[in-house]
Amino acid sequence: MALLAPAAHAQSGLYSQVTLTSDYRYQGVSSTNRKPALQGVIHHFRPDGWYAGVFASQVDYGYAESPNVELDVYGGKTLKLDPKTDLKLQALGTIFPDDRTPGPTLGFVQGGASIIRREGPWTLTGLATYVPQGSYGAGQVWRAEAAADYALGHGVTLKALAGHQTTERRPDRSYWSLGGEVRWKAVILEARYQDTDLSRRDCGFNPDICGASVVGAVSLVLPLILF
pLDDT tens for residues 10-49? 789 999 999 999 999 999 999 999 999 999 999 999 999 9
Task: State the pairing for strand pair 50-58/37-45.
Answer: antiparallel
Average pLDDT taken over every residue of the chain: 94
pLDDT tens for residues 187-226? 999 999 999 999 988 887 788 898 899 999 999 999 999 9
Per-residue confidence band for 7, with pLDDT thresholds at 50, 70 and 90: low
Q: What is the mean pLDDT of residues 96-110?
A: 95
CA 125 – CA 101 distance, rounded (Å): 35
Per-residue confidence band for 6, with pLDDT thresholds at 50, 70 and 90: low
Q: Identify the residue with better confidence: 199 or 9.
A: 199
CA 155 – CA 114 distance, rounded (Å): 25
Predicted structure pTM score: 0.94
Q: What percent of the chain has pLDDT over 90?
A: 87
- Phi, psi values for residue 161, rounded to 5°: -150, 145
CA 112 – CA 110 distance, rounded (Å): 7
pLDDT at residue 67, as a whole number: 96
Q: What is the mean pLDDT of residues 94-120?
A: 96
Q: What is the mean pLDDT of residues 63-74?
A: 95
pLDDT at residue 3, as a whole number: 43
- Which residues partner with 190 through β-bridges? 181, 217
Contacts of range 102-106, beta carbons closer than 8 Å, 24 or more positions apart: 102/65, 103/136, 103/137, 104/136, 104/137, 105/135, 105/136, 106/67, 106/135, 106/136
pLDDT at residue 4, as a whole number: 45
pLDDT at residue 9, as a whole number: 66
Residue 101 pLDDT > 70, yes or no?
yes
Q: What is the mean pLDDT of residues 113-119?
A: 97
For the chain, state the CA radius of gyration.
17
Q: What is the mean pLDDT of residues 124-129?
A: 98
Contacts of 52 (CB under 8 A, 6+ apart): 43, 44, 74, 75, 76
What does 156-179 look like in DSSP terms, one character per residue? EEEEEEEEEEEETTS--EEEEEEE
Q: Work out the widest C-alpha separation in the chain, in whole angstroms.
A: 51
Q: Which amino acid is at 114?
A: S
Distance between terminal CA atoms of the chain?
A: 26
Q: What is the mean pLDDT of residues 149-178?
A: 97
pLDDT at residue 2, as a whole number: 45
14-226: CATH architecture: Beta Barrel (2.40)
By three-state DSSP, how is residue 207 classified? helix
pLDDT at residue 203, as a whole number: 84
Return the closest-CA partner of residue 72 out of 49, 51, 95, 97.
Answer: 95
**E runs forming strands in 185-226:** 187-196, 213-221, 225-226
